[in-house]
A and B are shown apart, each in its own frame.
Chain A
Amino acid sequence: MSSLTPAFILDIGLLAMLVMVAIAVVRLRSLFAIVMLQGVYSLISAAWFVSLDAVDVAFTEAAVGAGISTVLMLGAMLLTEREVKPVPMRRQWAPLFIVVVTGMAMFYALGDMPMFGDANSIANATLGVEYVEATKSQIIIPNVVSAVLASYRGYDTFGETVVIFVAGLGIVLLLGLNGNAGRWRAKPNGQDISQIDEQDIS
């Protein structure tokens, strides 16, 4: 990292693109552009993941972050609004202050982070290496990430599928199965409850 290697130049380029896209997301007012730029942000970060050797994360981010998230957001945008109403400047100072203070605190803690690419840092030297070694003799598949995800940490992945199921259930409860949420009425014995109320009143 001490010289301008091609990998480092690629690093700088992708990070610069990410910063530009993030600032554009904050400044733009067209919701369509904002949602599409979020997909672009995910896609660029997927490219960056490949340059950082995280190939599994990269294709999950490209499929889920840039694909499904963008489709969900476009759907929600079509059901709601297309434009963001402008926020007056006086309402933006407090958030800016909080964000700057938080950022300063994180920059203060930056010196304690491990050096970039350091193989002997605590995060890289202990458990990850053991998983790689154990996969060679215990699981015997080439992809270590798959081995950890599906075997060593199988319960985590099971919990993840439960989270997805609960999220789907929540959406069905909120919006209804056939898109008539808010207009749905319970009909015990074939009678509309609201009609019973009206008969009682009359």
Chain B
Amino acid sequence: MTMVFEHFNFAVVIVLMMTGLFAVFASHNMIKKLVGLSVFQTSVFLLYISISKVTGGRPPVLSKKELHGYGGYDKAGDGADAAYKTVSETAEIIYSNPLPHVLILTAIVVGVATLAIGLALVVRTREEYGSIEEDEIDAYNYQDNLEGASR
């Protein structure tokens, strides 16, 4: 039971993934298939981002204190910087893991590229067959093959 509690996020994300996968497999409408693929994809992003979370961590954006001293950032901010130091000079700041964030940023953009190609194929299929339902396209192809054989 404690295992389920510790992995609560992962368990729910698996359910979400399988829901998206079911929409891909079970629906015969091509746009609904692509929506299912999109839901599946977003769920995979959720899985990666939950792995990168660290309890008590902060978003991976460095504070002024840590960049101060290298001279590259905010040379003029003396007053605000001094005030910040008194608050959290001794405390070690924990950041969440930035690496999965980078991977998922790339994956989101590539995902929308593949989605756009898929939608273009759907529009083209509709122009050619007059339908985006797989059953009707299969029936059309079957009929076409029969006529080709009798010719």
Contacts and interface: CB of A to CB of B under 8 A. Distances in A.
A94 B127 CA distance: 30
Interface stretch (B77-85, B93-101, B141-149): B93-101
A199 to B, nearest CB: 25
B98 A145 contact: yes
A144 B98 contact: yes
A23 B10 CA distance: 18
B78 to A, nearest CB: 18
A102 B21 contact: yes
Given A22-B16, A182-B127, A163 B97 contact: no
A87 B128 contact: no
A65 B112 contact: yes
Per DSSP, chain B at the interface is: helix
B139 interface: no
A142 B29 contact: no
A19 B19 contact: yes
A137 interface: yes
Contact of A45 (B45, B101, B117): B45
16 contacts: A22-B19, A45-B45, A52-B50, A53-B52, A53-B57, A55-B61, A57-B105, A61-B45, A72-B112, A73-B119, A96-B22, A99-B18, A103-B14, A117-B54, A118-B55, A144-B98
Interface of A: 1-2, 11-12, 15, 18-19, 22-23, 25-26, 31, 34-35, 38, 41-42, 45, 48-49, 52-57, 60-61, 64-65, 68-69, 72-73, 75-77, 79-81, 84-85, 87, 91-92, 94-96, 98-100, 102-103, 106-107, 110-111, 113-119, 121, 123-124, 127-129, 131-132, 135-137, 140-145, 148-149, 153, 156-157, 160, 163-164, 166-168, 170-171, 174-175, 181-182
Given A73-B35, A168-B116, A174-B117, 16 more contacts: A1-B55, A15-B9, A42-B42, A53-B60, A60-B105, A73-B115, A80-B122, A84-B27, A87-B28, A91-B26, A102-B21, A110-B7, A117-B56, A128-B98, A142-B73, A145-B102
The 6 closest A-B CB pairs, nearest first, are A117-B55, A140-B72, A95-B25, A128-B97, A167-B113, A53-B96
